[in-house]
Amino acid sequence: MTETQAPSAVLPLPHRPRRLPWERAGIYMLGVVVALAIAGIAITLVGGDVRSAYATVLRVSLGSVVGVGQTLNKMTPLLLATLAVVLSFSGGYFNIGVDGQIYLGAIFATGSAFALGALGLPRVVLIPAVLLAGIAGGALYAFIPAVLRAVFAVNEIFVTVMLNFVALFLTEYLATGPWNDPLAGEAITRPIPAAATLPMLIPRAGTHAGILIALGAVVVVAWLLARTVLGYQIRAVGDNPRAARIGGVPITVVTLVALTASGALAGLAGAVEVSGFHYRLILGLTPGYGIMAILIAVLARQHPVGAAVAAFFFAVLLVGSDSLQRSVGLPASAVFVFQAVIVLTVLLAEALRKR
Partner 1 sequence: MIPIVSMRGIVKRFGDVVALDGVDLALQRGEIHALLGENGAGKTTLMNVLSGLYRADAGTIAVEGEPVEVRAPRDALRRGIGMVHQHFELVAQFTALENVILGREGAVWLRRSRARAAVQQLAAQYGITLDLDARVRTLSVGVQQKVEILKALYRGVRVLILDEPTTMLTPQEVDALFSTVSWFTSQGLTVVFITHKIREAMRISSRITVMRRGRVVTTCSRAAVTEQELVQLMIGEMSPAVPARDGRLRGDQPVLVIRDLVVTDDRGSRAVSGCSFEVFPGEIVGLAGVAGNGQKELGEALIGVRAASAGAIVLDGGDVGRTPVRGRLARGLAVIPEDRLREGILPGMSLAETLVLGPHHFMFRRGRYDARRAEAAGREAIARFQIVAPDARVPSAHLSGGNIQKALAARAFLLSSVAGSKLLLAMHPTRGLDVRATEFLHGRLRDFVRAGGAVLLISEDLDELMTLSDRLLVLYRGTAAATFERAEFDPYRIGAAMTGVGAAGSASR
Partner 2 sequence: MTLLFDAQLLRLTLIVMVPFLIAALGELLTERAGVLNVAIEGIMVVGAVTGFLVTFSTHRYGWGLLAAMGAGAAIAAVLAYFCVTLRASQLTVGLGLFVFCVGLGSLLYRIVIGVRLMAPQIRTLPPLPLPGLSSLPGVGPILFTQNALVYLAFIIAMAVSVFVFRTSWGLRLRAVGENPRAADVLGIGVFASRYVFTILGGALIGLAGGYLPLGITGTYSDGMVGGRGWIALMLVIFGRWTPSLVLLGALLFAYIEALQFKVALVAKAVPPQFLLMLPYVFAILVLIKVYQGAAAPEAIMRPYDREERA
Binding site for partner 2 (CB under 8 A): 1-2, 5-6, 9-12, 42, 45-46, 94, 96, 144, 148, 152-155, 157-159, 161-166, 169-170, 172-173, 176-177, 288, 291-292, 294-295, 298, 329-341, 343-344, 347-348, 351-352, 355
What number of other Cβ atoms are within 10 A of residue 351's Cβ? 10
> What's the closest the beta carbon of residue 341 comes to partner 2, in angstroms?
7
- Measured from the CB atom, the residue of 204 and 355 that comes closer to partner 2 is 355
Q: Cβ-count burial of 128 within 10 angstroms (0-12 exposed, 13-18 middle, 19+ buried)?
A: exposed
- Measured from the CB atom, the residue of 164 and 262 that comes closer to partner 2 is 164
DSSP state of 331: -
CA distance between the termini of the chain: 31
> What's the closest the beta carbon of residue 254 comes to partner 1, in angstroms?
12
- Measured from the CB atom, the residue of 59 and 227 that comes closer to partner 1 is 227
- Measured from the CB atom, the residue of 89 and 114 that comes closer to partner 1 is 89
Amino acid at 78: L
Cα separations in angstroms, 182 against 114, 117, 284: 16, 20, 18
- Residues that bind partner 1 in the complex, under the rule CB under 8 A: 6, 8, 11, 13-16, 226-233, 235-236, 239-240, 242-250
Q: Which does 54 bind (CB under 5 to 8 A by kind): partner 1, partner 2, none?
A: none
Query: CA 250 to CA 233: how far, in whole Å?
Result: 9
Angle at 260 between CA 316 and CA 102, to 5 degrees: 40
CB 307 within 8 A of CB 295: no
> What's the closest the beta carbon of residue 265 comes to partner 1, in angstroms?
20
> What's the closest the beta carbon of residue 291 comes to partner 2, in angstroms?
5
Q: Which does 159 bind (CB under 5 to 8 A by kind): partner 2, partner 1, none?
A: partner 2
- Measured from the CB atom, the residue of 14 and 331 that comes closer to partner 1 is 14
* DSSP state letters, 74-118: HHHHHHHHHHHHHHHHHTT-----HHHHHHHHHHHHHHHHHHHHT
- Measured from the CB atom, the residue of 104 and 211 that comes closer to partner 2 is 104
Q: Which does 153 bind (CB under 5 to 8 A by kind): partner 2, partner 1, none?
A: partner 2
- Measured from the CB atom, the residue of 172 and 181 that comes closer to partner 2 is 172
Tell me the three state secondary structure of residue 317: helix
CB 294 within 8 A of CB 99: no
Q: Which does 283 bind (CB under 5 to 8 A by kind): partner 2, partner 1, none?
A: none
> What's the closest the beta carbon of residue 355 comes to partner 2, in angstroms?
7
Q: Cβ-count burial of 353 within 10 angstroms (0-12 exposed, 13-18 middle, 19+ buried)?
A: exposed
Q: Which does 250 bind (CB under 5 to 8 A by kind): partner 1, partner 2, none?
A: partner 1
Q: Which does 295 bind (CB under 5 to 8 A by kind): partner 2, partner 1, none?
A: partner 2
Contacts of 147 (CB under 8 A, 6+ apart): 256
> What's the closest the beta carbon of residue 98 comes to partner 1, in angstroms?
23
- Measured from the CB atom, the residue of 277 and 338 that comes closer to partner 2 is 338
CB 95 within 8 A of CB 263: yes
> What's the closest the beta carbon of residue 233 comes to partner 1, in angstroms?
8
Q: Which does 249 bind (CB under 5 to 8 A by kind): partner 2, partner 1, none?
A: partner 1
Task: Give kind and range of the element (H or E) at residue 201.
Answer: strand 200-202
> What's the closest the beta carbon of residue 263 comes to partner 1, in angstroms?
22
Q: Phi, psi (5° rounding) for residue 208? A: -90, 175
In DSSP terms, which residues pair with 149 in a beta bridge? Answer: none
